[in-house]
Amino acid sequence: MRFPTLGVRTRILAIALVPSLALVVIGVSAAGALVDRSRRAHSWADEMQAGIAPTRELIEAVQSERQLTLWRMAGVDTDVRRLTTARQRLDKALRVLAPTQASLSEMGPESMSQATDAVGEVAKRLAGLRSGVDAGTAALPDVYAFYNRIPQSVMAGVEIAEKTAPDAATTVELTQAADVLHSLEAMSRAYALGAALLEGNALSPELGAEYLSLVGYYRTRFDGIVSASDEKQSNAAQVLVSGPAWQRLGVVEPVLAQRTLNPSDGSTKRAAALPISIADWQRSADEVAHGLADLWQAENTDAQELASSAASDTTRKSLWAGAGMVWSAWSRSWSRWRWPTGSSAGSGACGTAPSTWPTCSSRRPCGGCPPANCSTPRSINPARTSAGTKSARWQRLSNTPMRPPSGPRSPRPAPARA
């Protein structure tokens, strides 16, 4: 079976289509990869945005129950109804956060799943701890350490979110939000332990040293937030620091810190009185904690908005890049399709022979029918090309008539006979 012979035009089209199709495949694949990356960034931002409010409620709920529980164990007069309300609030916060934990576990790495599982394990043991507190069998250091596990798991999840952020700007914003969260948790722990210092020093040496560390830590870290390069964050932190609530905490904490230096056996002289009332101290601590939580939520919201904006920008750029590659491939194929445009291998533009292709006055081929700017078309001189020179020589030789030899022809000798 004989296959038809491919013409020059078909061969040129085949040569042009192969790289063009390859370019189209590469362009579509690259655009698809970028779109998928953008989709994952959008999903990351949506999941994180959905978890901001439940996470804040969980942090505030566990801090409230921890403070009321430790104050009750320290002998401070505490309203039982407030403690009951705080426990119900924490239970509800854990239930609301459960769906968000499942989504984050599926989206994030294995370490994210471990952090969310740790919160669930603490929630399962919460009822037993409360029973021990109500019965008076639980020790203050154990209760304090137990309540600290939930915020620790939350902060571990925040660190994982920083590592999985879709872009650098979002990572920076999440890092700033984490600084605020660490300051909030340190201040809340110091406030909860402070109840054991109201009537002297009822803390163990380890917890006394931790109180000093917590106070110094959250104030030093928040000073860094005030002087941060982020103007919006710095201004919000400056408003909080210059407020009266922050100032009142600043006069109470040194007095309580001094009491941690006295031994817990009561052998030292009477401790100095607090410069403000306990009620004022409580209101100031609650106000500062609320301000820090607001700042943390604002920083997280900004981070999610940056992630969403980056994802949208990636989608837009990927679509433009894919369209550009497809257009480039199409234009390459179209240019090869138009050259040559004759019906056979030897024909030129508009059915004319290659030797009569029009050229501009600058002697450059027009590549087809004379365009509008080709004002002085002229024929290609075959003698100007190597192929044309050989063709002209052959034509001259072919057109030259053969002349008979001069003089009489000598007869051909007869073959010899045997």
172 in the same domain as 63: no
Identify the domain boundary among 314, 330, 346.
330
Q: Could you tell me if residue 31 is inside a domain?
A: no
Same domain, 149 and 213: no
Q: Closest by alpha carbon to 377, among 400, 351, 349?
A: 349
H helices present in 194-266, as ranges: 205-226, 231-241, 244-260
Neighbours of 14 (CB within 10 A): 11
Residues 53 and 132 in one domain: yes
pLDDT tens digits, one per residue of 127-158: 999 999 999 999 999 999 999 999 998 888 88
Cα-based torsion angle of the residue sequence 370, 376, 378, 383 in order, rounded to the nearest 10 degrees: -120
**Does residue 283 form part of some domain?**
yes
Q: Are residues 248 and 100 in the same domain?
A: no
> CA–CA separation, 169 vs 204, rounded Å?
43
- Residue 301 sits in a domain whose CATH number is 1.20.120
Residue type, 47: E
Is the Cβ–Cβ distance between 292 and 240 less than 8 Å? yes
Note whether 74 and 195 are within 8 A (CB).
Answer: yes
Q: What is the DSSP letter of 359?
A: B
pLDDT in tens, 46-68: 877 888 899 999 999 999 999 99
Do 178 and 159 lie in a common domain? no
7 is a domain residue: no
Least confident segment among 89-98, 155-164, 380-389: 380-389
Could you list the residue range(s) of the whole structural domain that residue 209 is in? 167-264+273-330
Among 245-259, 272-286, 307-321, 347-361, which is the least confidently predicted range? 347-361
Q: How many domains does the chain have?
A: 2
Compare 308 and 124 and report the one with higher pLDDT.
Answer: 124
Does residue 253 sit in the same domain as residue 147?
no
Distance CA 106, CA 129 (A): 30
Highest mean pLDDT of the ranges 291-295, 403-407, 412-416: 291-295
For residues 155 and 376, which has the higher predicted lDDT (pLDDT)?
155
Give the global pTM. Answer: 0.69
The residue among 145, 164, 183 that closes a domain is 164
154 and 176 inside one domain: no
Residues 183 and 321 grouped into a single domain: yes
Is residue 134 within a helix (H) or strand (E), and if so which, with residue range? helix 126-135
Within-domain flag for 342: no
Residue 248 sits in the same domain as residue 307: yes
Alpha-carbon span 326 to 217, nearest angstrom: 57
Q: What is the pLDDT of residue 310?
A: 73
Highest-pLDDT range among 113-117, 241-245, 308-312, 328-332 = 241-245
- 218 belongs to a structural domain: yes
Instruction: Tell which residue, 63, 65, 58, 59, has the closest CA to residue 83.
Output: 65
Q: Are residues 156 and 76 in the same domain?
A: yes
**Residue 22 within any structural domain of the chain:** no
Residues 62 and 196 in one domain: no
| Unique residue bearing structure tokens 């491939």 | 329
Find out whether 58 and 92 touch, Cβ atoms under 8 Å: no
271-279 contacts, C-beta under 8 A, 24 or more apart: 271/200, 271/201, 274/198, 275/251, 276/248, 276/251, 276/252, 278/76, 278/198
- Burial of 61 by CB count in 10 Å (0-12 exposed, 13-18 middle, 19+ buried)? buried
